[in-house]
A and B are shown apart, each in its own frame.
Chain A
Amino acid sequence: MSAPVCEIGGGEAQLAGCSLLIPDVQSEPLPILPVEPAPCTQACPAGINVKAYVSLIAEGRFAEALQVVRQHCPLPGVCGRICHHPCETVCRRGTVDEPISIRSLKRFVADLAVDEAPPAPWPLVDKDAKVAIVGSGPAGLTAAYDLRRAGYPVTIFEAEAEAGGMLRYGITEYRLPRDVLDSEIAYLAGVGLEFETGCRVGRDLQLEEMLEQGYVATLLAVGAQRGRPLRVPGAEACAGVEDALAFLRRVNQGDRSPVRGRVVVIGGGSTAVEAARSALRLGADSVDILYRRYREELLADEEEIRAAESEGIAFRFLVAPTRLIVEGEALEALECVRVGLGEPDASGRRSPIQIPGSEFRVEADRVLAAIGQAADLEFMPPEILAQVSENELLRVDPLTTMTGLQGVFAAGDAVSGPATVIDAIAAGHQAAEAIQHYLEEGRPSIAPQAPELRAPLEYGLPDSPPLTADRGRPELRSLKAGAEFAEVERPFGEAEAVEEARRCLRCGPCGECRVCTPSCRRRHIMVRFPVGDGSARRAPILLRAPGSIAMSLSNQSSTRAQLLPESRPRLLPEVAPSEGDSVEVSPVRVQIVEEQCRGCGRCIEVCPFGAITLSGEGPDSVARVEPSLCRGCNLCCAICPTAAAEPNALSVTWWGSRLADAFDGRAEAVNEAGPIVVLACQRRAGSIEPTLYQHSAHVEVIRFRCVGQVDAGMLVELYRRGASSVLVAGCLTERCRFGEGAHQATEQVARAQRLISLLGGGQDRVRSDWSVDRAGDPIETPVLRMIAEVFGARPDKTGRQPC
Chain B
Amino acid sequence: MRDLIQLKKATQAALCLECGKCSTMCPLARFGGFSAARMMSIHEPEGEIHGHAAAVQRCLTCGACEVRCPQGVRYTEFVRGLRVELPEETRWSCPHGAVFQESARWAAEGAVNGRNSSWLEDGLAVAEEGEVALFVGCLPLFDVVFGSELEVQMVEIARSAVRLLNQLGIEPVVVAEERCCGHDLLWSGEEETFEKLAVANTTAFEERGVRHLLTTCAECCRTWRLDYPRYVESYQPRVQHISEFLAERLEGESLSFQDLGEAGTMTFHDPCRLGRQLGVFDAPRQVMASLPGSEVVEMERSGADAQCCGTPGFIQCNRDSRRLQTQRLASAAATGASKLVTACPKCLIHFRCAQAEDRLNERQAAEIQIEDLTVLAASLLTIDKEAEKDSPSKR
Residues of A within 8 A of B (CB): 594-602, 605, 614, 618-622, 638, 641-644, 711-714, 716-717, 719-720, 751, 754-755, 757-761
Identify the closest chain B residue to A605 (Cβ).
Answer: B360
Select one of B96, B112, B144, B318 contacting A644, CB under 8 A.
B318
Identify the closest chain B residue to A646 (Cβ).
Answer: B93
Residue B282, interface by CB 8 Å: no
Cβ-defined contact, B95 with A619, below 8 A? no
Grouping DSSP codes into helix (H, G, I), strand (E, B) and loop, the A interface class, with mixed when no group exceeds half, is helix
Cβ-defined contact, B357 with A711, below 8 A? no
Cβ-defined contact, A599 with B322, below 8 A? yes
Q: Which residues of B contact A638 (CB under 8 A)?
A: 97
Cβ-defined contact, B112 with A759, below 8 A? yes
| Closest CB in chain B relative to A517 CB, distance in Å | 37
* Known contacts A601-B361, A641-B96, A714-B97, A759 near B103 by CB under 8 Å: yes
Within 8 A of A (CB), among B322-366: 322-323, 325-327, 353, 357, 360-361, 363
Complex: how many Å from CA A758 to CA B113? 11
Residue B141, interface by CB 8 Å: yes
Q: Which residues of A contact B322 (CB under 8 A)?
A: 598-600, 619
Select one of B103, B105, B109, B323 contacting A755, CB under 8 A.
B103
What are the 6 tightest A-B residue pairs by CB atom distance, in nearest-first order?
Answer: A713-B97, A643-B93, A711-B97, A598-B322, A760-B112, A720-B106
Cβ-defined contact, A596 with B116, below 8 A? no
Cβ-defined contact, B317 with A751, below 8 A? no
Select one of B105, B140, B318, B357 contacting A758, CB under 8 A.
B140
Residue B115, interface by CB 8 Å: yes
Cβ-defined contact, B115 with A759, below 8 A? yes
Within 8 A of A (CB), among B132-190: 140-141, 144-145
Residue B114, interface by CB 8 Å: yes
Cβ-defined contact, A597 with B319, below 8 A? yes
Complex: how many Å from CA A642 to CA B116? 28
Identify the closest chain A residue to B330 (Cβ).
Answer: A619
Cβ-defined contact, A716 with B99, below 8 A? yes
Cβ-defined contact, A757 with B96, below 8 A? no
* Known contacts A599-B319, A622-B319, A642-B318, A713 near B361 by CB under 8 Å: no
Complex: how many Å from CA A620 to CA B325? 12
Cβ-defined contact, A757 with B116, below 8 A? yes
Contacts A605-B360, A713-B94 known; list 11 others, CB within 8 Å. Answer: A598-B317, A602-B360, A619-B326, A621-B361, A638-B97, A641-B95, A641-B353, A717-B98, A717-B102, A758-B144, A759-B107
Select one of A597, A712, A751 contacting B318, CB under 8 A.
A597
Complex: how many Å from CA A620 to CA B321? 11
Cβ-defined contact, B95 with A643, below 8 A? yes
Grouping DSSP codes into helix (H, G, I), strand (E, B) and loop, the B interface class, with mixed when no group exceeds half, is helix
Residues of B within 8 A of A (CB): 92-99, 101-103, 105-107, 109, 111-116, 140-141, 144-145, 317-323, 325-327, 353, 357, 360-361, 363
Cβ-defined contact, B361 with A760, below 8 A? no
Complex: how many Å from CA A711 to CA B144? 13
| Residue in B98, B102, B111, B140 with the greatest tally of chain A CB atoms within 10 Å | B102
Q: Which residues of B contact A594 (CB under 8 A)?
A: 319
Q: Which residues of A contact B321 (CB under 8 A)?
A: 598, 642
Identify the closest chain A residue to B146 (Cβ).
Answer: A641
Identify the closest chain A residue to B99 (Cβ).
Answer: A713
Q: Which residues of B contact A597 (CB under 8 A)?
A: 318-319
Complex: how many Å from CA A596 to CA B317? 7
Q: Which residues of B contact A621 (CB under 8 A)?
A: 361
* Known contacts A598-B318, A712-B97, A713-B99, A720 near B109 by CB under 8 Å: yes
Cβ-defined contact, A751 with B102, below 8 A? no
Cβ-defined contact, A751 with B361, below 8 A? no
A-B contact pairs, 21 of them (CB 8 A): A594-B319, A596-B93, A597-B318, A597-B319, A600-B322, A600-B353, A600-B361, A602-B357, A614-B361, A619-B323, A641-B96, A643-B97, A713-B99, A713-B101, A716-B102, A720-B109, A755-B145, A758-B141, A758-B144, A759-B112, A760-B113
Identify the closest chain B residue to A748 (Cβ).
Answer: B97
Cβ-defined contact, A720 with B102, below 8 A? yes
Q: Which residues of A contact B96 (CB under 8 A)?
A: 641, 711-713
Complex: how many Å from CA A118 to CA B351? 72
Q: Which residues of B contact A605 (CB under 8 A)?
A: 360
Complex: how many Å from CA A707 to CA B99? 17
Complex: how many Å from CA A754 to CA B116? 11
| Closest CB in chain A relative to B134 CB, distance in Å | 17
Complex: how many Å from CA A121 to CA B80? 73
| Residue in B97, B105, B325 with the greatest tally of chain A CB atoms within 10 Å | B97
Cβ-defined contact, B97 with A755, below 8 A? no
* Known contacts A599-B322, A619-B326, A751 near B145 by CB under 8 Å: yes
Complex: how many Å from CA A470 to CA B367? 52
Q: Which residues of B contact A598 (CB under 8 A)?
A: 317-319, 321-322, 357
Cβ-defined contact, A599 with B357, below 8 A? yes
Q: Which residues of B contact A751 (CB under 8 A)?
A: 99, 144-145
Cβ-defined contact, B361 with A719, below 8 A? no
Complex: how many Å from CA A595 to CA B322? 11
Identify the closest chain A residue to B96 (Cβ).
Answer: A641
Cβ-defined contact, A601 with B99, below 8 A? no
Cβ-defined contact, B99 with A642, below 8 A? no
Cβ-defined contact, A620 with B144, below 8 A? no
Complex: how many Å from CA A614 to CA B319? 13
Q: Which residues of B contact A759 (CB under 8 A)?
A: 103, 106-107, 112, 115-116, 141
Q: Which residues of B contact A758 (CB under 8 A)?
A: 115-116, 140-141, 144
Q: Which residues of A contact B357 (CB under 8 A)?
A: 598-602
| Closest CB in chain A relative to B148 CB, distance in Å | 10
Identify the closest chain A residue to B145 (Cβ).
Answer: A751
Q: Which residues of A contact B144 (CB under 8 A)?
A: 751, 754-755, 758
Q: Which residues of A contact B325 (CB under 8 A)?
A: 619
Complex: how many Å from CA A249 to CA B327? 76
Complex: how many Å from CA A714 to CA B325? 28
Q: Which residues of B contact A716 (CB under 8 A)?
A: 99, 102-103, 106
| Closest CB in chain A relative to B294 CB, distance in Å | 30
Complex: how many Å from CA A512 to CA B105? 50
Complex: how many Å from CA A588 to CA B364? 35
Complex: how many Å from CA A744 to CA B366? 30
Cβ-defined contact, A760 with B109, below 8 A? no
Q: Which residues of A contact B320 (CB under 8 A)?
A: 595
Q: Which residues of B contact A761 (CB under 8 A)?
A: 106, 111-112
* Known contacts A595-B318, A618-B363, A720-B106, A760 near B116 by CB under 8 Å: yes
Identify the closest chain B residue to A618 (Cβ).
Answer: B363
